[in-house]
Every structure is written in structure tokens, then in C-alpha cells.
Chains A and B, each alone.
Chain A
Amino acid sequence: MWAAFLRRAIMQGIPLLFGSTGEIVTEKSGNLNLGIPGVMYVGGIGGVIGAFLYEQNATKLNPILAVLIPLLCSLLGSLLMGLIYCFLTVSLRANQNVTGLALTTFGVGVGNFFGGSLVKLTGSDVPSINLTATSGYFSATLPIADKLGWFGQIFLSHSFLAYLAIFMALGSSFFLFKTRAGLRLRAVGESPATADAAGINVEKNKYLATCIGSMIAGLGGLYYVMDYANGVWSNDGFGDRGWLAIALVIFAVWKPHFSILGSILFGGLYIVHNYIPGLDVSGQELFKMLPYVVTILFLVGTSIGKKREAQPPSSLGLPYFREER
């Protein structure tokens, strides 16, 4: 049972991990992108659209294309979302919170709209979107997983996107903390004026970080629909995982490698109610608030403790204009 629980916790955690890694990269540039939930919806629906069109038009599915097309569509969708956010907040210096919230409204709208209307829009004769074929390719696992008992079940029974998420988190951490470019990016988020004076292109860094961050986060949506939900898109099915990803950022103190364990913990907290014997449905709902409670306690703890390394990037949420006096 423990193995099954951990496996489910990891599966729950993977979308959060993508989301929080993307948001950490974004926030390290000083952009508080509250549009991440929307971005993840778009990432998910992007994949769905790509897969749907390919399944409808191809007579025989090519495994590589069946994965590549949804993947690229998903990345493109979340890239566009990132660009909208950057253009408004970086180039036009609009308020980040308002832009982010609008982006979430927009993104969730796009996801649910196409999820609900794709069949009609394309004039297909299928009753609903069901991408089990594509999903099959996405959720393919290592054949040896079954043979290795609990070890295989926990660590090896996942699809390639899950490993990509962990790789992305480790890669982002390496990039942020072990490379010059990462150092520059963090400087932009801490103090754009300092970065600017040091010859760093603040706007370029913000654009790149936010767009790449969006693309990473969007993969969380793709993983959810293609692997977790077995290729079945249901409106609002993704739920509040986007916000949970933002909570995870705080919990991981802006370090992607911390969010790997954090995501499993959050994933576990999210589903722990299923594993507590004698818990009725209403009690389960109470348990679902755990990740948020933990985040708040953590946020309060770090602000009272005032530990410098646990604070958000200093200029998070603030616009930058060089000639401001």
C-alpha cells in the first residue's frame, strides 16, 4: 500500500513540479506570474488540440509524431501565454498582479472553451475528445518496472514526462545557481537597477525567464491530461493545481530542487485522505486543504524568522524603469 500511495503521490506531484519549476524561473526574474494556472490550462489544451487534430487526420499513428505534435503544440500555447504576460508587464509596465489574474481567467477560459467546443469547431463526428491512443504513447513506461517490485512501482513506473519534470527541476536549479546566466537572472529579480548597472539586459532576461518558465509550467498541464487523466479532457478537471504550484514555490523557498520533494509531499497531502481509514467524504475535503495550510505556516515562519535566503526575490512584482528617480 505504501508503494501505491507513493506512486500516486508522485503522479499528483508531477504537474505541480512542472508548474512550480516554471514559476520559480519566472519569479527569479522578478515577475510574479499569477497567470500560471491559466498557462497550465493552455499547456494542457494545446496538447489536446495537437493530439486531436493528428488523431483525426492521420490514418495510422506514428509513435514519435504522436508525442511530438502534442508536445510542440503545448509548448507553443504556453509560450504565447508567456509572451502576453511579458509584453504587458515588461514592455508596457502593467501591474503584474492584475495581468496575471487576467491571464489565468483567459487561460482557463481557453482551456475549457476548446475542451468543450473542439469537436464542434472541427466538425468531427466523434462524440467527445478521447485521446487514449495518444495517451498510450505518453504514458508508456519502462518494461522492467513491473519486475522490480515496490522499487519499480515507485520509481520506474512513470512516463517520460515525469522524469522530464525532475530533470527540468534539477536542470533549472543547476542553471540558476551554478551558471553565470543564472547568476545574472537572479540579480535581475533581486535588484534590476544593480543588474542594469552591471550591464545586464533586464528586459531580455525577464522575457526569457518568463517565457521559458511558462513553457515548463505548460508541460504540467500536458502531463496531467495525457498521462494522469489518460487523454480525457474534462473541463475544470485540472482544478486548482495551478495555485498549488504557486504555493509550492514558497514552500520550496525558490529552489527548484527543493520542489521535487515538495511536490511529492504536496501530492501526498493532496491524496492522503484516500488512505486514511474511516474518513468520510467531508473529512476528506478538510484534508485537501493541508498543502495550503502548510504553505501559510511556512510563509509566516520565514517572514518572522527573516532568514534572508528564504525570502522572495526582492523586486518580485515590481516594474522596472531605468530613469525612475
Chain B
Amino acid sequence: MAENQRSEVPAIRLKGITKAFAGKVVANDNIDLSVYHGQILSILGENGSGKTTLMNVISGIYFPDHGHIYVDGEEVVMRSPKDALRHNIGMIHQHFKLVDVFSATENIILGLEDKSRYDLKQCVKQVKEIANQYGFEIDPERKIYDMSVSEKQTVEIIKVLYRGADILILDEPTAVLTPQETEKLFGVLRKMRDEGKAIIIITHKLHEVLSLSDKVTVLCKGKNVGTVVTAQTNEEELTELMVGKKVILNIDRSEPKNVQPRLIVKNLNCKGVEGVDVLKDINFTINSGEILGIAGIAGSGQKELLESIAGLQKCEGEIIFMDPESGEEKDLRKKTPLQIRDLGVSLSFVPEDRLGMGLVGNMNIVDNIMLRSYNKGKGVFLNRTESSELAEKIIKDLEVVTPGKTTPIRRLSGGNVQKVLVGREIAESPTVLMTAYPVRGLDINSSYMIYNLLNNQKESGTAVVFVGEDLDVLIALCDRILVLSSGHVSGIVDARKTSKAEIGLLMTQNTNKDGASDGRA
């Protein structure tokens, strides 16, 4: 229905946008894309596929290394966000750009060049008008720090509207919203589209893409892998585009041996920073001698699940460790990592945030290897000999490319950083090994090396958890796959019998019945 309003010239056209960070990852690789007035474009893609970077390029936060941006057919240069605003581009960031101690109105009028006298009351009135026009409920004089997430988002949207933006970019706006709030937001967005605004929305919830957008562009590993008209596609096609064509992987998967329950998770619940449930009633068992895969769209609770088990996250419920030697049951809940270790539980954890949590970027390889073991043994001094030997062994066995073992870890490439981290965690000869996205950003050879390491661990009787995003890998590597969908376990499947389509549907399954039916309307 918006067809007739659509102009011939794209509101935004990107040509060959490339952006790399500090010579490391290429976040955007030669991306072309366009969106017209009166159109909603969804950008779909896995975590790390470069969606946010691309939007930051459009809104002037990142300056691209190469490429051209056209607004209404004319080439523009975005030196700063100010230039983007001048072209009436408004962006709603995933992490809201709001000043906490300001009121809603102050945030909304911030940065607007207005020569008129600053009259806060007048501004409050204008904000109210816009809110009424689109049916938002908001107290314009309320401080941001008193607001809930959805209220904050409302402020962000009104901010963009107040500035009279013609082109809206929303970065995962529904991630923090309830289904009802989401539906309301979509109503507003549809209204804006009908008014002739061009809208780009980043999401990875397929039913939202289908219910809202006119066109979908799928990014994968920094590249545009396809643009389709929403009306002519379906969840299966989009899933395939997003996760890629089936790849033949040659991972040697052995049959699980000596399978015994090692870690039993019962009724695990966990709240996030904003007070939202991030994990709801999680029940599952991790067995020794097998690899348990965890699939799910990014942010479905994977991080919180692993951190709860590792003693880094507050949670409710039971986490019971079955000691393989004594047969004792040990409760790990509400224990710190040190207390868990003192219980005699050897639990290794490769976190998603390698340099922010698992390793210290400015320390050298030996000192990073030492993180887990530095406190072993009596005495006040460090014993670097063992770590040094272990570092040499890891560098040799895992073919870590580094000038030496005393090189600061941040100088290594992503794959080599990961090898050091995984190498260290495996060296502890753990009973339970949890890995979060261990092959993200790694090349094929390094990835295979990690797969083999995990397989070796499994064969030696370790209970291995593998959180992954590549479904082909999950299916080829794991024995069982647990699928998370917005904090729920939506299914546990046998990896040898399942298919990508089945997992893909479980991943996007909306546990809220209303939301699901809406998604297919």
C-alpha cells in the first residue's frame, strides 16, 4: 500500500562501504544497500555480521575506509553525527544515547540548533503533542534514570521525530521490549512509513521481519548476502540466507562413551540488569563424554546461562554437580568461582568476551596463562616457570602465531587470542568445559583445531558445552543441542537426527502465543 508513495530515488543508497577496525576485523566489506521513502527495510544477520557498524557509518559515528553514501540521490560525506542529522537521518541506538540525569524533554531537544529563546515549558508542550500524535504515553518531565527500558526507547523515538527525521534507523529496538510493547512500536513504525519516512530496522527475530518490513537485506560476516522482498519470502528462506548454505564439514565426531550426568540444572531463573527475565525455568543436564551444543539467536540468554553456572551471575534455582570420583552431589549455586574450585570442581569456562573477561589484553601470554593458576602453591611469589612451559606448549601445539611468549595478548589476532584462551582452559584438565562462541572470528584452520580440541576433551570424559551460532557446526560437532529462545529452553534435540530448519524454527519460536500468531499474520 505504500507503493504509490515511493519515490524513484532511494532515500539512502550505500555503495561499496568498507570499514575495518585497527587493522583487525573487517566489519563491513564492500556493502551495497538502498532504502526508499515509504519503505521499511529490515537488516537481518547474526551477531558480528556488521549490522551495527554499518548503521553507525550511516549515522556518522564511524568514518568508512571506502565507499560512498547517497542521500536522496546526492553523494554526501558524513564527517560526524551532525552531518547525518543535517540530512535528516535519525538513529536509535541499541544502547540508548540518553543523558541519565536529564529529563525526557531535555534529551529530546538536545543538540537541536534553535535560535529561539530556550523555553522548557514550550518544549514540554511540543513533546506532548508529538507523543499524542503517535499515541505514546510519556511524562516529558520525568528523569531518564527513573524510566523503564521501554519508556527510554519512547524518548529515543520522540527525539528522532522531534528533529523531523525522514530516515530512521533502529538498532534492535525490540530486544528489550515485551511482545505488547513491540506491537505498539510496530504500529508507530507502520504509521511513519505511511507518512513517507524511510525506515531501517535491525533485528534478528524472523517473525518481526516478516510482519513489519517491506524488504530484507541479509548480512553475513560483513557482506551483503542478499536482498529479498518480504512478501516473496518465508522464514525458511531467510534462515538459510542468514545462517548460510549447508556446508559440508568434516568434523570427526566420535560416539559418546561413558555418558553420565555431570551437571544438573533445575528451574534456573535469572534477571538482567534492567530487571527483565533473561532466563526462565531452565532445566537440562550436562553429561560427561558428550558435547552439548547451545543454539539460539544472540542475546537469548546464552551468556547468562554460562555465567550462572560459572558463579559469575546471580540466579535462582539449582545447579548440582555430580562428582565423578566420590559420587557426591555438590550445589554450585550462589558460589563464587573460587568457592567452586575449593569444592574440588574443575570447571573451565571460555567466555564470549575474550579480552574483556577471559584474558587481559595488556598482559603477555605467560601472564595470561597464569590467570587461572597463579594462586596455586604456597608462598607470596608467582611461579612463572610452569606457566611459561605451558605457554610454550600451547604456542607449539596450537600453532599460535606470535613473536614470542612475552608478547602482550592484545597484539595477537583474534584466532590466536582464542587459541591461548582455549588452550589455557583445557590445560586445567577440567571435568566440565564450557565454551561460548569459541570459533567466532576464526579462520577455517583455527576453527578445526578448536573442534578437535573439544572432541579430544569429550573423548577423555569431559562434559563439554559448546555455545555456537553456526548451525552447521553445531549439528556436525555436538551430540545434543539445546535451543534457547528468549530465555526459555525451546527444545533439546539429537544432533544426529535434526536439521537446520528444525533448529532455526526452534530458535525463532516465539513462546508468547499472541506474538507468534501476529508474526504470521
Q: Which residues on A are within 8 Å of B, measured CB to CB?
A: 178-180, 183-184, 186-187, 190-191, 193-201, 308-309, 311, 314, 322-323, 325
Contacts and interface: CB of A to CB of B under 8 A. Distances in A.
B111 A184 contact: yes
Contacts of A198: 81, 85, 97, 110-111, 159
Contacts of B80: 196, 199, 201, 322
B82 interface: yes
Contacts of A187: 99, 102, 110-111
A193 B21 CA distance: 18
B134 interface: no
Contacts of B62: 322-323
Interface of B: 21, 59, 61-63, 80-82, 84-86, 91, 93, 97-102, 106, 109-112, 114, 118, 143, 145, 159
A187 B143 CA distance: 14
B236 to A, nearest CB: 34
Contacts of A190: 99-102
A200 B517 CA distance: 43
Contacts of A179: 118
Query: Most chain-B CB neighbours within 10 Å: which of A178, A199, A314?
Result: A199
Contacts of B111: 184, 187, 195, 198-200
Contact of B99 (A191, A311, A325): A191
Contacts of A186: 99, 102
9 contacts: A180-B112, A183-B110, A190-B99, A191-B100, A194-B97, A197-B61, A198-B97, A309-B101, A323-B62
A200 B110 contact: yes
B100 A322 contact: no
Nearest to A188: B99
Contacts of A322: 61-62, 80
B54 to A, nearest CB: 14
Contacts of A309: 101
Query: Most chain-B CB neighbours within 10 Å: which of A180, A186, A309, A322?
Result: A180
Given A194-B99, A196-B81, A199-B84, 15 more contacts: A178-B118, A187-B110, A187-B111, A190-B99, A191-B98, A191-B100, A196-B80, A198-B110, A199-B82, A199-B86, A200-B111, A308-B100, A322-B62, A323-B62, A323-B63
Contacts of A197: 59, 61, 81, 91, 93, 97
Contacts, number: 77
A157 B110 CA distance: 42
Contacts of A194: 97-99, 110
Given A197-B61, A201-B82, A314 B97 contact: no
Given A199-B82, A322-B61, A184 B110 contact: yes
Contacts of A311: 101
For the residues of A in contact with B, the DSSP-based class is helix
A141 B61 CA distance: 54
Contacts of A323: 61-63
Contacts of A184: 110-111
B413 to A, nearest CB: 16
**Nearest 5 A/B pairs, CB to CB:** A198-B111, A199-B82, A194-B97, A199-B85, A197-B97
A197 B98 CA distance: 10
Contacts of A195: 99, 110-111
Contacts of B84: 199
A183 B106 contact: yes
Contacts of B143: 308
A180 B82 CA distance: 16
Contacts of A180: 109, 112, 114, 118
Contacts of B109: 180, 183
A201 B81 CA distance: 9
A270 B521 CA distance: 74
A190 B118 CA distance: 20
A184 B62 CA distance: 22
Contacts of A191: 97-100
Contacts of B63: 323
Contacts of B112: 180
Query: Most chain-B CB neighbours within 10 Å: which of A186, A187, A195, A309?
Result: A187
A323 B53 CA distance: 10
A311 B61 CA distance: 28
Nearest to A181: B118
Contacts of A314: 100-101
A308 B101 contact: yes
A183 B82 contact: no
Contacts of B114: 180
A199 B159 CA distance: 13
Nearest to A196: B81
Nearest to A182: B118
Contacts of A178: 118
Nearest to B146: A308
A189 to B, nearest CB: 9
A297 B97 CA distance: 33
A300 to B, nearest CB: 20
B62 to A, nearest CB: 6
Query: Most chain-A CB neighbours within 10 Å: which of B61, B85, B111, B112?
Result: B111
